[in-house]
Amino acid sequence: MRLPKGAFAFAGLAVLALSACGGGGSSSASPGTTTLNIAFLPKAVNNPYFDVAATGGQEAATELKGQFKQVGPSDATGAAQIPFIQTLTQQNVSAIVVSADDANAIAPALKQAMAKGIKVVGYDSSPATDARNVFINQADTKGIGEVQIEMVCDEIPGCAGDIAILSATSTATNQNAWIDVMKSTLASNSKYSGLKLVKVAYGNDDPQVSTTEAQGLLTAYPNLKGIISPTTVGIAAAAKVLKDQNKVGKVALTGLGTPNQMRAFVKDGTCKEFALWNVKDLGYLAYYTAALLVQGKIKGTSGETFTAGRLGSYTIDASTTVLLGKPFVFKADNIDQLNF
Amino acid sequence: MSALRDRLLARWETLLVLLLGAFLVLGTSLSPYFLSASNFSDMTSNLMEKAIMALPLALIIIAGEIDLSVESMAGLSSALLGFVFLLGWPLWIAIPLVLAVGALGGLFNGLLVTRAGLPSLVVTLGTLALYRGLASVVLGPQSVSGWPAWFTNFGFGDVPGTLIPWPFVVFAVLAAAFMFVLHRTWIGRQIFAIGKNKEAARYSGIQVAKVKTLLFVLSGTLSALAGVILTARFSSARADNGQGFVLDVVTATLLGGVNIFGGEGTIAGVVLAVFVIGVLRNGLTLADVSPDTQSVVVGALLIVSVAGPTAVRRIRSAWSSRRFVQSASNR
Amino acid sequence: MVRAVEAAVPSNLAGRIGLERTLALVARLRELGIVLALVAIVLVVAIQAPLFFTVSNFEQILLSVALIAIVAVGQTTVVLTRNVDLSVGSVVGLVAFVTGDLLKEHVVGVPVAILAGCVLGLGLGALNGLIITVGRVPAIVATLGTLNIYRGLAFLIAGGKQVSAIDLPNSYLRIASSSVLGVPTLIVCAVVIAAIAAYLLRYSGTGRQLYAIGSNPAAADVVGIPSQRLVFGAFVLCGLLAGVAGVLWGSRFGTVNASAASGLELQVIAAVVIGGVNIFGGSGTVVGAVLGAVLLGTIQNALTVLHLSQFWLQAIDGAVILLAVGTDAAIRNYFQRILTRTGRR
C-alpha cells in the first residue's frame, strides 16, 4: 500500500520542528553591551538620500570602532520593513536605526526588538513614539515645512497662484508632518494669502510614479504656478518633467533635494532653490546616539545631553527627539559647495 | 503509465522533503542565528497568509482554472476591515462581514468563469485590478491602526507557552481539512476529474459549474481571511496589504507539484513547497541576501521543478522505446 | 436590432466571402468597438473639461502609453500562439538599468548602449523561448520564473545604486523629449513598430502560421508548420521589443533604479486583452492591442483632467478588462451562431 501523501508533509514538518528544537535558545542571550553592531534600516535601499546618510553612519562606526551595515526593502512600504526588523532581531544586533515608511506597521516588530534589549533609534521619519528610544530629526519639523513655503513664495512672481505638493508615500511620518505645517503656514500667515494649495500627489518615492504624478499635476491644473516636492526622488522627477514639457520659468519648483541630483537643474533655472540638511551628519548623529544608548552612556530620556563626536553636544527634548540643526537652502551660488 | 506517474508523484514530495532538508543545512551554514525556534517562529508567521491563499488556489488549478485575484481580495478585505473599524463597528461583526465580502468576490469570479464562459486567467486578471482598486476607493491612501490587543496578538503573537504563531494554527487546521477533502472525499475526486477532462467529467454527471464556482467562493473567502490576518500582523489596515503576493503563492503551488494544466497535485506538496520557499528565503535573509536576489533562486527553482520531471519523463520514454525497438529487432 | 442585423447578414456569409475575411471583418469590428469607446470617453470628458480636447493633451496621452504599446506589440505576438510572457516588466527594467548604467559609467557611447540594450532584450527573450520550447515548460510557469530571475539580476547588478538624470548624456535624454516632424519621437517609434508588426502578421506567411499555431496547435503540427521554431521566434521578438522599451525608459524617466517597470506586465496584458486578442491564441491584432493601451491611457488622463481621485483608476481598469473580455465572448458566440447557419441548409 502506498504511503498516504500526507505522511510526506508531516515528515517534512517534523524535520523542520526537530531542527528547531535542536537549535535551542541561542537567541536568549542579550545583545552585547560593549560590542557595537548597529544596523541602519532606511525606508528603501535604492535611494541616494539614504546612501548618503549611510556614509555618515559608516564614518561614526569607524570612529567608535563599531560595526555598521545597511539593509532594507526595495519598495518603500511598512510591510516590507517588518521582515528586516525581525531578521536584525534574530541576528542580535546592538541597535537598529530606522526610518519608518509606516509609523504603526513596524511598531510591533520594533517593540519585540526592544524587549530583547536592542536599542531602537529613529532617523529621518519616526516610528511610533513608544516603539523607539530616541528620534533623530534632521531639523525642526516646523522649520522644514515653513522654509519650503517661503521658497515657493520667493520663486513665484507676486507670490500668488495655485501650488501643488508632490510627496512620497502617503503614510510616511515625516512627509505628513511637513505637509501639515505647510497647510497651516498657508492658512495662518497673511504673506502667503495669494497661494492656494490645490493638490497633494503621492509619488511613492518611485521615479516612474513620481514622473507620472508630476505630469498629471501639469495636466489637471494648467494654471499651476508652483510645485513643492519634499522628497529627493520627487523633486528630481518633477524637474525633468518641467524641462521636458518646457515649463521652466512658468512653473516654479522647490522642495527637498540632494545637491548632486539637482545641480544641473539649479544651474539651468528649472529649480532656483531647494533645501536640505547635511544628510551625512544625520547618519553620523544617528549612529552616535545609538552607540551611546548601547553603551549605556545615555538612557534616552528627555533632558539628557550628550556629545556626538565632531558634531558637538545635543539635548534630547520633551518628545525624546534630537534635532540635528537647521535646514540649508541651496541656490546657484552655493550648490557646488557640497558633494552628495 | 499510471503506476509510473504515481511513483513520480510520490517521489515529488520526497524531493520536496529533501529540498527542505538541503535548505535547512544551507541556512545553518550561512548564519548562526538560523537554527533557533524563535527564528522559525518568525519565518512561519511571515508565511502564513500566503500559505492560506495557496490552499484553495491549488484546488482551483487542479480543476483546470486559475485565480490571480487572491492578493487583491486580501487587500480589499483589509481595507474594508479598516473602514468599518473606523466607523466604530466591533470586530466580531466586522470580521464575518469581511469574510462574506470575500465569498461574494469569489462568487463573482466563479460566475464569470462558469456562466459567462470567460477564461479564468483573464477574469481574475481583471478582478486582480478591480478588487485592488476598490480597496483604494474604500480606504484611500491612509492606514488604520489602534486595534484591540487581542487582535494584534493573534496576528503577531504566539500560542501562550509555545513559539507557534496563532496564524499557523489556523493554517494547520485548514490544511488538514483541505487534505481530507481533496484526497479522501468524493468532492476531491470530482475536482481531479474536472481537471483531467472537463467534458468527460460533465458527461459522467459531475456538476462542473457548481464545483468550480464553489472553489472560487472558497478562494475568495480564504483570501479575505488572509487579509484579516495580515491586518492583525501589521496592526495596520491598508489598501495595499498583500500587494505582490500572488507570484509567491502561484510559485508555491506549482512548486508543490500541482500541474498547471490541471488534474494533478497534492496538498501535502503545496504545504511542503510553501515551507521550502520560506526556509530558503529565511536562510538567505539571515545571511543578508536581499529579497530580490532571493527571487533569482526561487524563479530558477520554479523552472527546474517543472522542466526536471518533464525531461526525466522524456528520457525515460526514449529509453524504453529504444529498448522496445532493440528487443523487436533482436527477434 | 439584433434581428435586423441577422436578417441583413446573409446566412452563407462565410461561404460568400471566405472564412478568413469573415474573421478579419470581426477583428475590424472589434477595433471599431474600441475606437467608439474612445470617442465616447473623449466626448463625455471634453464637455466637462475642455482642456482635455487639445492636441497637447492627446499628445500627453499617447506619450504616456507609447512604451506600453511597444511592449504590447511583442506580447500580442506571443499571445497569438497561445502563450504568454509574464517577464516583460522585468526585461524592460533590467535593460533600462543596464543601458543607463553603461551610459553613466561612460563605458560606451549612446548608439552602442542602445544597441546593447536591444541585444540584451533579445537574449532574454531567447532564453524564455528556449525554456519553453526545449525545456517544454508551460509559458506561464517559465515566464513567472524568469520574471523573478530577471528582476533579481537587475537588483544584483544595481547593488542598491540608481542612475539619475544628471548621469545620462543629454543626447540620450533628448530622445524622449524630441519630435519628428512635430510628432514626439516616442510616439513615432511606437507607431512604426506597430505598423510593421501589423503588416507582417496580417500579410506574411509567417504571420498566418502564428495565428494557426494559436488556433489549433495539433492541426498546425500536422500541416507541417514549424511550431517550436515560430514560438521561439515570438518570444525573441517579445524580448527584443521589451528591450527597445527598456532602452527608451531611461530617456523618458531620467532616473532608473532596479525596480523600474515593476508590474508593467499586468498593464501590458490588460492592454492586449482589452484590444481583443484572445488569451487562448489564434485571433486578435496588434492594432487592437495598441488601441487597448491607448484606451487605458485615455481613462487615466480623463481621471486626472476631471480631478477625480486616481484611486478609481485601478478599479476602472479592472472593470474595463472584464467588460472587454465579456464583449469578446458575446461577439464570438454570436458570430459562431451566424456562421454555422450555413450548415443547416
Instruction: Locate the domains of chain A by residue range.
Output: 32-138+279-324, 141-276
Q: Is the dihedral of CA A228, A232, A233, A238 positive or negative?
A: positive
Q: Which three cell numbers stand for residue A95?
A: 541597535
Angle value at C-alpha A86, between A85 and A90, nearest 5 degrees: 120
Q: Distance from B147 to chain C by nearest Cα, in Å?
A: 25
Chain CA centroid to CA B202, Å: 27
Q: Give C307's contacts in chain A (Cβ within 8 Å).
A: 220
Q: Give C257's contacts in chain A (Cβ within 8 Å).
A: 46, 207
Q: Distance from B176 to chain C by nearest Cα, in Å?
A: 27
Q: Tell me which of B17, B25, B174, B270 to substitute to probe the interface with A (most A C-beta atoms closer than 10 Å).
A: B17
Q: What is the mean pLDDT of residues A308-317?
A: 90
Q: Distance from B238 to chain C by nearest Cα, in Å?
A: 13
Residue among A41, A128, A123 at smallest CA distance from A81: A41
DSSP B198-257: HHHHHHTT--HHHHHHHHHHHHHHHHHHHHHHHHHHHT-B-TTTTTTHHHHHHHHHHHTT
Query: Is it the case that residue A272 has pLDDT exceeding 80?
Result: yes
Closest CB to C160 among A45, A75, A260: A45
Q: Do B268 and A5 touch (CB under 8 A)?
A: yes
Burial annotation C56-93 (CB, 10 A radius, 16+ → b, else e): ebeebbbbbbbbbbbbbbbbbbbbbbbbbbbbbbbbbb
B328 domain-assigned: no
Q: Which CATH architecture has domain A141-276?
A: 3-Layer(aba) Sandwich (3.40)
C103 domain-assigned: yes
Report the phi/psi class of residue C284: left, alpha or beta, with left for phi > 0 and alpha for psi in -120 to 50: left
Angle of helix B208-234 versus helix B186-196 axis, rounded to 10: 110
Query: Is it the case that residue A3 has pLDDT exceeding 50?
Result: no
Which C residues, 126 through 185, put their C-beta within 8 Å of a C-beta on chain A?
155, 158, 160-162, 164-166, 173, 176-177
What is the tens place of the pLDDT at every residue in B203-237?
999 999 999 999 999 999 999 999 999 999 988 89
Q: Distance from C264 to chain A by nearest Cα, in Å?
A: 11
Cα A321 to Cα A141, A317, B40, B128, B257: the distances in Å are 11, 5, 35, 42, 53
Q: Do A222 and C51 touch (CB under 8 A)?
A: yes
Which C residues, 80 through 139, put their C-beta within 8 Å of a C-beta on chain B?
84, 131, 135-138
Q: Which amino acid is at C26?
A: V
- The predicted pLDDT at position A12 comes to 58
- The predicted pLDDT at position C165 comes to 84
Q: Give C51's contacts in chain A (Cβ within 8 Å).
A: 222
B59 domain-assigned: yes
Contact A89/B285 with Cβ under 8 angstroms?
no
C4 domain-assigned: no
Q: What is the mean pLDDT of residues B279-286?
A: 90
Any chain B CB within 8 A of the CB of A73? yes
Q: Distance from A208 to chain C by nearest Cα, in Å?
A: 6
- The predicted pLDDT at position A27 comes to 41
Distance CA A285, CA A295 (A): 15
More confident residue, B279 or B243: B279
C133 domain-assigned: yes
B225 domain-assigned: yes
Domain count within chain B? 1
Q: Tell me which of C55, C97, C164 to substitute to probe the interface with A (most A C-beta atoms closer than 10 Å).
A: C164
Q: Do B292 and C329 touch (CB under 8 A)?
A: no
B322 domain-assigned: no
Report the phi/psi class of residue C168: left, alpha or beta, with left for phi > 0 and alpha for psi in -120 to 50: beta
B304 domain-assigned: no
Q: Distance from C182 to chain B by nearest Cα, in Å?
A: 36
Q: Do B292 and A108 touch (CB under 8 A)?
A: no
Q: Give C318's contacts in chain B (Cβ within 8 Å).
A: 126-133
pLDDT tens for chain C, residues 1 to 345: 455 545 555 555 555 556 667 667 777 778 888 898 899 988 888 888 888 888 888 888 999 899 999 999 999 999 999 999 999 999 999 999 999 999 999 889 999 999 999 999 999 999 999 999 999 999 999 999 999 999 999 999 988 788 888 889 989 988 988 888 889 999 999 999 999 999 999 899 999 999 999 999 999 989 999 999 999 999 999 999 999 999 999 999 888 988 899 889 989 999 999 998 988 888 899 999 999 999 999 998 888 888 887 778 889 989 999 998 888 888 777 877 877 775 544
Using CB atoms within 10 Å of the CB of residue C324, give its burial: 0 to 12 exposed, 13 to 18 middle, 19+ buried: buried
Burial annotation B70-90 (CB, 10 A radius, 16+ → b, else e): bbbbbbbbbbbbbbbbeeeee
What is the tens place of the pLDDT at every residue in B96-140?
999 999 999 999 999 999 998 899 999 999 999 999 999 999 998
- The predicted pLDDT at position C340 comes to 76
Which A residues, 133 through 162, put their C-beta within 8 Å of a C-beta on chain C?
none
Q: Which three cell numbers stand for residue C323?
A: 467588460
What is the tens place of the pLDDT at every residue in A202-250?
998 888 889 989 998 998 898 999 999 999 999 999 999 998 888 998 9
Angle of helix A78-90 versus helix B37-62 axis, rounded to 10: 140
Contact C155/B293 with Cβ under 8 angstroms?
yes
Q: Tell me which of B46, B158, B238 to substitute to probe the interface with A (most A C-beta atoms closer than 10 Å).
A: B238
What kind of fold does domain A32-138+279-324 have according to CATH? Rossmann fold (3.40.50)
Distance CA A41, CA A102 (A): 13
Q: Which amino acid is at B250?
A: V
* Strand runs labelled E in chain C: 179-180, 183-184
Q: Tell me which of B8, B39, B151, B247 to substitute to probe the interface with A (most A C-beta atoms closer than 10 Å).
A: B39
Residue of chain A whose alpha carbon sits nearest to that of C52: A219
DSSP B314-325: HHHHHHHHHHHH
- The predicted pLDDT at position B6 comes to 60
- Is this prediction's ipTM beyond 0.90? no
| A30 DSSP 8-state letter | P
Any chain B CB within 8 A of the CB of A171? yes
Residues 6 or more apart whose Cβ sits within 8 Å of residue C221: C227
- Whichever domain contains C106, its CATH number is 1.10.3470
Q: What percent of chain A has pLDDT over 90?
A: 55
What is the tens place of the pLDDT at every residue in C261-281?
988 998 999 999 999 898 888
Query: Is it the case that residue A19 has pLDDT exceeding 80?
Result: no
Distance CA B144, CA B230 (A): 13
Q: Distance from B31 to chain C by nearest Cα, in Å?
A: 21
Q: What is the CA radius of gyration of chain B?
A: 21
Q: Distance from A311 to chain C by nearest Cα, in Å?
A: 28
- Whichever domain contains B239, its CATH number is 1.10.3470.10
Q: Tell me which of B236, B281, B293, B296 to substitute to probe the interface with A (most A C-beta atoms closer than 10 Å).
A: B236
Point out which residues pair with A315 in neighbouring strands. A305
- The predicted pLDDT at position C18 comes to 64
Q: What is the mean pLDDT of residues A307-312?
A: 89
For the CA atoms of C92, C94, C100, C105, what is the dihedral angle to 10 degrees? -170
Q: Is the dihedral of CA A4, A9, A11, A12 positive or negative?
A: positive
Contact B235/A104 with Cβ under 8 angstroms?
yes
* Strand runs labelled E in A42-94: 67-70
Q: Which amino acid is at A208?
A: Q
Residue among A187, A182, A214 at smallest CA distance from A201: A214
Q: Distance from C47 to chain A by nearest Cα, in Å?
A: 15
B9 domain-assigned: yes
Domain count within chain C? 1
What is the tens place of the pLDDT at every residue in B170-186?
999 999 999 999 999 99
Distance CA C85, CA C229 (A): 16
Any chain A CB within 8 A of the CB of C253? yes
Chain A / chain B CB contacts < 8 angstroms: 147
Query: Is it the case that residue A6 has pLDDT exceeding 90?
Result: no
Residues 6 or more apart whose Cβ sits within 8 Å of residue B331: none
Binning chain B into helix, strand and coil, the percentages to the nearest 5 are 80, 0, 20
Predicted model pTM: 0.88
Domain that holds residue B21: 2-298
Q: Which amino acid is at A156?
A: I
Any chain B CB within 8 A of the CB of C325? yes
- The predicted pLDDT at position A236 comes to 92
Query: Is it the case that residue A78 has pLDDT exceeding 80?
Result: no
Neighbour subunits, C (≥3 Cβ pairs < 8 A): A, B
Report the phi/psi class of residue A39: left, alpha or beta, with left for phi > 0 and alpha for psi in -120 to 50: beta
Q: Do A6 and B14 touch (CB under 8 A)?
A: no
Q: What is the mean pLDDT of residues B286-314?
A: 86
Q: Give C160's contacts in chain A (Cβ within 8 Å).
A: 45-46, 51
Q: Do B125 and C136 touch (CB under 8 A)?
A: no
B321 domain-assigned: no
Q: Is the dihedral of CA B254, B244, B227, A125 positive or negative?
A: positive
Which B residues, 295 through 314, put their C-beta within 8 Å of a C-beta on chain C?
295-300, 302-303, 306-307, 310-311, 314
Cα A280 to Cα A52, A204, A317, C124: the distances in Å are 5, 23, 22, 39
Query: Is it the case that residue A28 has pLDDT exceeding 50?
Result: no
Q: What is the mean pLDDT of residues B10-37?
A: 89
Domain that holds residue C210: 16-344
Residue among B86, B96, B69 at smallest CA distance from B223: B69
B318 domain-assigned: no
